[in-house]
Every structure is written in C-alpha cells, then in structure tokens.
C-alpha cells in the first residue's frame, strides 16, 4: 500500500517535472522568437534609415535629372518634320518652319554651332569646363538655382572663362513655374537676381525647362515669352539634340552621332546637352564631339546678341 502511494507520488513528481520542462521549453522558444523579432526589427530599421539617406542623396542630384527637355517636347534630333502641338495638345502651325527654311545650310557654307548645357551646375560642369578650356571653345550654360559654395564657384567660373551664363529657371519644377504667370515671374526674378548677386552678370538668355514647346505647362507659353521679352531676355530652344535627356541611355558615341547627323543641316545649330550630375556620357563624348565639329570647319560659339534665336514657339502667333 505504502509502495503504491510512493509510486503515485513519484509519478506525480515526474509529471510535474515534465510539465515544467515543457513550460520552460515554451518560454524559451517564445523568448528566442521575441529576441529574433527584435533583432530583425532593429536590422530593418537600420536598413530603412540607410536607404532613406541614400534616397536623400539621390534626390539631391535630381533637380537636374528631372529635366527631360526631349521627353516633354515634340522636338528631337529628327523633329524637323514632326508635327507640333500647343499646350492643349492641338496641332499648331510649326512656328519655326520659316526659321528652319531660312536656316538651312547651303553646300560649303560656314556652320555656326552653339553647344548648350542645361540643368547645371553639377560636378560634371567642372569637367566640361576643363574640356572646353582644353579646346579653347566657348559654350552656353543654362543653369538652375543652387546655393552651395561649389555651385557658386561654378557660376563664376563659367563667366570668368568667357562662356555665356543663361537661365533655366530657379527651381526647374514644371508644376511650380508653369502654374501661373506670377509663379513664372517669381521664379525668373529669383534666378536672375541670384545670378547677378553671385556673378555680377545681368543674364539675358533663357531656356524654358522642357523647352517652349513643352506639353506640361498649364499656361500658354507665349505669356511667359512675352514676359521675358519685356525683361529684354531672349529665349532659346534648340534644333539639334544630343539625346542625353531621353530614356534611350545613349552611349557617348551615339550622342555624338545624334549631334553630327543634324549640325550639317543648319547654318545655325543650337545643340541641346545637359551638364547634370547624372549625364556622364555627355562629358565622355564632349572632347570627341568638339574634334569632329572642328574638323568639319564648324565655328563653335557661345550664345550672344548676334546669335540667331532658335525657338519652337513664336510670339507672333499671339498677334
């Protein structure tokens, strides 16, 4: 009898031990699971913060990348015969048909080529300035508003080296500058005054973000053109594009081919290129492009008051 009781007691103790072991096991598993979860969360948090920083870095250089002149306009290197549209998407008479006809080069005629760079300054501007200096070539830089010391030094360097400093809007944000005439005026004044303050130059040349034939403006672009004219400012589009702002991801050789294929057509070629931080192929191809232009006898010049304006939209359309 005593043995039986002892046995039952022993069994109970054993059962309790087993239950305790299972309990401990469960607690251990939950603890490990929680620990792993915490580690995972922390790791993910660190990763998110890291990615946010990377994104911020990328976004910093994006005002330039936002520029997609070729994408938002009908004009491209092969655009001479392309139908153009007004801001409502309605086909319009090509404002520069006459301009193009007058501008066609005759056999053996001296060609003028204006290399223009939009969206800078950036780290690529420095390299472009070096290459231009090496070949003693002057170009035109349509810049946006950047307040860091490097950019300020580059605005000055552009001027000091004899290039033309042109305006390309302060913010380069289509949705802001093309919202209304007031918004456009404000952005224009901000950039004009800022560049004057930094370089002492009263800029007289403007390139619309997206070009005058862009399809993103809410307003009639002719209102902005009229305003610029009132300020004594001439706006320039382009009739030759390197294609460096398109989604095609052209190689340096292809960019050169795009330009060389079209500059032979015109007496005056205004070539669209970009000196944004992401446009490294433009820099890579520049020396070779200059060599090829020079070897065909083209005059490479900076835009000045004698330059024939190349414009996609004519103000005469308003009359």
Which parts of this chain interact with Zn ion (CB under 5 A)? 67, 118-119, 209
State which residue, 209 or 243, has the beta carbon closest to Zn ion: 209
Report, in Å, the least distance between residue 309 CB and Zn ion.
18
State which residue, 87 or 111, has the beta carbon closest to Zn ion: 87
Q: Pick left, alpha or beta for residue 243 (phi over 0 → left; psi -120 to 50 → alpha; otherwise beta).
A: left
Q: Which residue is nearest to Zn ion (CB)?
A: 67
State which residue, 118 or 275, has the beta carbon closest to Zn ion: 118
State which residue, 67 or 298, has the beta carbon closest to Zn ion: 67
Report, in Å, the least distance between residue 208 CB and Zn ion.
9
State which residue, 173 or 267, has the beta carbon closest to Zn ion: 173
Report, in Å, the least distance between residue 277 CB and Zn ion.
13
- The answer to whether 313 and 222 have CB atoms below 8 angstroms apart is yes
State which residue, 119 or 262, has the beta carbon closest to Zn ion: 119
Report, in Å, the least distance between residue 63 CB and Zn ion.
9
Longest dimension (CA), the chain: 127
Report, in Å, the least distance between residue 66 CB and Zn ion.
7
HEC secondary structure over the chain: CHHHHHHHHHHHHHHHHHHHHHHHHHHHHHHHHHHHHHHHHHHHHHHHHHHHHHHHHHHHCHHHHCCCHHHHCCCCCCHHHCCEECCCCCEECCCCHHHHHHHECCCCCCCEEEEEEECCCCHHHHHHHHHHHHCCCCCEEEECCCCCHHHHHHHHHHHHCCCEEEECCCCCCHHHHCCCHHHHHHHHHHHHHHHHHHHCCCCCEECCCCCCCCCCCCCCHHHHHHHHHHCCCEECCCCEECCCCCCCCCCHHHHHHHHHHHHCCECEEEEEEECCCCCHHHHHHHHHHHHHHHHCCCEECCCCCCCCCCCCCCHHHHC
Rounded to an integer, what distance in angstroms lies between the CA atom of residue 125 and that of residue 54? 23
State which residue, 112 or 142, has the beta carbon closest to Zn ion: 142
Report, in Å, the least distance between residue 141 CB and Zn ion.
12
- As given in the structure block, the two tokens for residue 310 are 């190349």
Report, in Å, the least distance between residue 142 CB and Zn ion.
7
Rounded to an integer, what distance in angstroms lies between the CA atom of residue 73 and that of residue 80? 13
Report, in Å, the least distance between residue 118 CB and Zn ion.
4
State which residue, 144 or 298, has the beta carbon closest to Zn ion: 144
């Amino acid at each position: 009898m005593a043995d039986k009781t002892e046995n039952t007691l022993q069994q109970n103790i054993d059962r309790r031990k087993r239950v305790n072991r299972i309990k401990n096991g469960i607690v251990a598993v939950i603890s490990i699971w929680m620990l792993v979860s915490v580690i995972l969360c922390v790791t993910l948090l660190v990763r998110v913060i890291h990615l946010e920083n990377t994104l911020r870095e990328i976004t910093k250089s994006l005002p330039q990348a936002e520029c997609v002149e070729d994408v938002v306009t009908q004009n491209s290197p092969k655009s001479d015969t392309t139908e153009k549209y007004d801001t409502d998407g309605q086909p319009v008479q090509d404002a520069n048909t006459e301009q193009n006809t007058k501008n066609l080069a005759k056999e053996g005629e001296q060609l003028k080529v204006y290399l223009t760079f939009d969206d800078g300054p950036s780290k690529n501007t420095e390299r472009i300035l070096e290459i231009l200096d090496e070949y003693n070539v002057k170009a035109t830089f349509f810049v946006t508003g950047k307040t860091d010391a490097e950019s300020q030094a580059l605005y000055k360097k552009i001027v000091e080296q004899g290039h033309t400093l042109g305006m390309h809007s302060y913010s380069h944000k289509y949705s802001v500058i093309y919202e209304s005439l007031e918004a456009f005026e404000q952005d224009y004044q901000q950039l004009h005054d800022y560049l004057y303050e930094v370089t002492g130059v009263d800029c007289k040349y403007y390139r619309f973000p997206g070009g005058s034939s862009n399809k993103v403006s809410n307003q009639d672009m002719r209102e902005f053109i009229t305003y610029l004219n009132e300020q004594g400012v001439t706006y320039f589009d382009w009739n030759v594009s390197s294609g460096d702002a398109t989604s095609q991801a052209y190689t340096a050789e292809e960019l050169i081919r795009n330009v060389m294929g079209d500059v032979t057509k015109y007496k005056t070629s205004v070539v669209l290129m970009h000196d944004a931080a992401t446009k490294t192929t433009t820099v890579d191809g520049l020396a070779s492009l200059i060599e090829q232009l020079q070897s065909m006898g083209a005059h490479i010049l900076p835009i000045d008051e004698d330059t024939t304006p190349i414009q996609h939209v004519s103000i005469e359309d308003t009359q």
